[in-house]
Amino acid sequence: MKLCRLGSPGGERPCVVDAEGNVFDLSSLTADIDGGFLAGGGIERVRAALAAGELPPAASGQRVGPPVARPGKIVCIGLNYSDHAEETKAAVPLEPVVFMKAPNTVVGPDDEVLVPRGSVKTDYEVELAVVIGATARYLASPEEAAGVIAGYTIVNDVSEREFQLERGGQWDKGKSCETFNPLGPWLVTPDEVGDPQALGVRLWVNGELRQNGSTKNQIFGVHHVVWYLSQFMVLEPGDVVNTGTPAGVALGRGPEAYLRPGDVVEVEIDGLGRQRQRMGQA
């Protein structure tokens, strides 16, 4: 099942997409797709209402917003593909590299992304994102992680490399600029995704294929990452985990590969849809 949120920023309505691509409004079941909805059996209620034919069609032609309302936190995993670690001249990590991203970086999958003022190294990163559906606290094993995952979506983990790597301190200030976390278009439930370690991930800039990888090459798989994080923090329903990017980022290509206003970035993961962002100037 695919969940989405349609409408203007701040006014999105919860919706579901059926197997034939028809879109139905969920406003009769929930005010939004958020942590409370995910933790309170919302997905099961939607599944039942959809099967019973009880949902009205959604209005067409609306903006696609992020598929989950502003998360409590965005937790990110760095250097999680061996080829990406190699291109950035970093050692392959022995444990997941963890950093945070500000929740107000989240925008819709096709919204404008802004190059920060003073930036000369704005970069792109296609990533599989995990949306948490139940509280995860000291999970006993990676196998338990499957029970706390509401679904999966696409994220472009936009980054400013000078801010991140050359200005001192932690990575967060190169990751938390406004609009730096395009999310969506759909939150796809695990039963429809299948094996999260068998998904092709791709990204284009101005029509040129820049990243073409697979989640099978993650150093730390999705379930391991969620289990690992639960040993250090409590993951709550509605939280988002960005699980890392494969090789092909601008940081590994050279100065001409960085993003500039007017560039168009397209992002795709098997079964999860596609994003398209035009770069603007902050």
Q: Are 166 and 248 in contact (CB under 8 A)?
A: no
CA distances to 39, 88, 151, 194 from 191, rounded to whole Å, are 17, 35, 9, 6
Q: Tokens representing 215?
A: 């989640």
Measure CA 218 to chain center: 16
Average pLDDT over residues 217-221: 96
What residues are paired with 122 via a beta bridge? Answer: 160
pLDDT in tens, 155-187: 999 999 999 999 988 888 999 999 999 999 999
Domains of the chain: 2-64 (no CATH), 74-281 (3.90.850.10)
pTM of this structure: 0.96
Could you read off the pLDDT of 138-153 as tens digits, one per residue? 999 999 999 999 999 9
Indicate the pLDDT class of residue 237, thresholds 50, 70 and 90. very high
Residue 272 pLDDT grade (very low, low, confident, very high; cuts 50, 70, 90): very high
Whether 188 shows a pLDDT value over 90: the answer reads: yes
- The answer to whether the CB of 135 falls within 8 A of the CB of 36 is no
Q: What is the pLDDT of residues 30-53, one digit of tens each?
A: 999 999 999 999 999 999 999 999
3 state SS of 144: helix
